[in-house]
Copies of this chain bind each other. A is one copy, B any other.
Amino acid sequence: MINVGIAGASGYTGVELVKLISNHPKAKLCAVTSNSYKGKSLTDIFPSMRGFENLICEDLDIKSLSKKIDVIFLALPHKVSMQHVPTMLGNNIRVVDLSADYRFTDVAAYESAYQTHTSKDLLKQSVYGLSELYRDRIKTSNLVGNPGCYPTSILLPLLPLLKEGLIQPAGIISDSKSGVSGAGRSLSLSAHFCEANESFNPYKIGNHRHTPEINEILSLHSQQPVSITFVPHLLPLTRGMMSTIYARVTDTATQDKIRKTYDTYYGDEPFVRLLNKGMYPAISHVKGTNCCDIGIHFDETSRQLIMVSAIDNLLKGAAGQAVQNMNIMFGLDDETGLNRVQGPL
């Protein structure tokens, strides 16, 4: 049994972690922390849990935590994570950090998008938690920087084709759409029901903080600087994310090679599902699952490839992938605690 703590349990990502760990057959939820709800029980915050889970939110006291947990999930704001991680590691707590603080290799990229990095040394040791592509390094890691939701939905379809030279690194476009839960549980006019409901809009065109994260990983794997065009939009729904990605293929690419490449990379992966020709993802097909569904359309004439990916932004885009990473870190099958059959509603 893995003893688990969750920091920041009262946000939307935090509570998804609570659900996953509470229901996990090989993990035990031993501690939850919350800044805003200190001293309250989880069921005070989330009445849906009443009768099934009743931990009290405690302070983030690492010494005390270190006595009861093996690993901690940090569902904390950027910047707050890196204030705690060094001490956690020093107390033998393995960390899956869901903030951006340990996702970057390039400090400058992080600092241009976020703020001064106060834990630079650990960037060499931290592993980017895109489970399918970084599994080997995650296995032995003590510190995983769990990917952003948009990057997950974009990197999973792109990386295999870029690595195998089937698409051109230049001119890639991702038109992405996220449900409102992606903005978290804090209050803002754009998350007001009457503003988001029955509407749809792009936001942060040209300056979303997930862009440098995506570009860094793409560049690493294609061995040249890649800079994608990324336009995020806000969907009037609670959970789910879709990226419709446009790329030019290289001369050697064929539909068959593309499908085979995906099969090589993901054929044995439980959570990446390549759809048959003519089939495309829908958010309702992945909601409540840890899956990333990928559908492709290849136009031979224009040599343009359209990749459509869908994830649940709170699962494969956050808490689900974090648990998948914990499974990998502790030698469990990826699917452990994540393989429930899910329906359409």
Interface residues of A, Cβ cutoff 8 Å to B: 12, 15-16, 18-19, 22-23, 46-53, 171, 173, 175, 177, 180-181, 185, 187-189, 191-203, 205-206, 227, 229, 231, 233, 235-240, 242, 244, 246, 270, 273, 275, 279-289, 291, 293, 295, 297, 299, 301-302, 304, 306, 308, 310, 314, 339-345
Other than the known A180-B197, A195-B344, A236-B236, what 15 A-B pairs have Cβ atoms closer than 8 Å?
A: A12-B345, A15-B344, A23-B340, A48-B287, A175-B175, A187-B189, A192-B192, A193-B197, A199-B283, A200-B242, A201-B280, A205-B297, A229-B299, A235-B236, A314-B345
A242 CB contacts on chain B under 8 angstroms: 200-202, 233
Closest B residue to A175 by beta carbon equals: B175
Q: Is the CB of B19 within 8 A of A285?
A: no
Count this chain's copies in the assembly. Answer: 4
Q: Is the CB of A345 within 8 A of B246?
A: no
A175 CB contacts on chain B under 8 angstroms: 175, 244, 246
Shortest A45–chain B CB gap in Å is 9
A173 CB contacts on chain B under 8 angstroms: 173, 246
Interface centre among A199, A202, A281 (most CB of B within 10 A): A199
A283 CB contacts on chain B under 8 angstroms: 198-201
Closest B residue to A188 by beta carbon equals: B187
A236 CB contacts on chain B under 8 angstroms: 193, 235-237
A289 CB contacts on chain B under 8 angstroms: 48
Closest B residue to A289 by beta carbon equals: B48
A339 CB contacts on chain B under 8 angstroms: 52
Complex Cα spacing A291 to B242, Å: 27
Shortest A110–chain B CB gap in Å is 21
Shortest A165–chain B CB gap in Å is 21
Complex Cα spacing A197 to B51, Å: 24
Q: Is the CB of B193 within 8 A of A48?
A: no
Interchain residue pairs with CB less than 8 A apart (6):
A49-B341, A51-B273, A199-B237, A202-B242, A235-B235, A238-B345
Interface centre among A47, A177, A304 (most CB of B within 10 A): A47
Closest B residue to A29 by beta carbon equals: B341
Shortest A111–chain B CB gap in Å is 20
Q: Is the CB of B18 within 8 A of A343?
A: yes
Closest 8 CB pairs of A and B: A201-B282, A199-B284, A175-B175, A22-B341, A187-B187, A47-B285, A180-B193, A193-B196
Shortest A268–chain B CB gap in Å is 11
A195 CB contacts on chain B under 8 angstroms: 284, 344
Q: Which of B189, B196, B306, B310 contacts A229 (CB 8 A)?
A: B306
Shortest A221–chain B CB gap in Å is 20
A344 CB contacts on chain B under 8 angstroms: 12, 15, 46, 48, 194-195
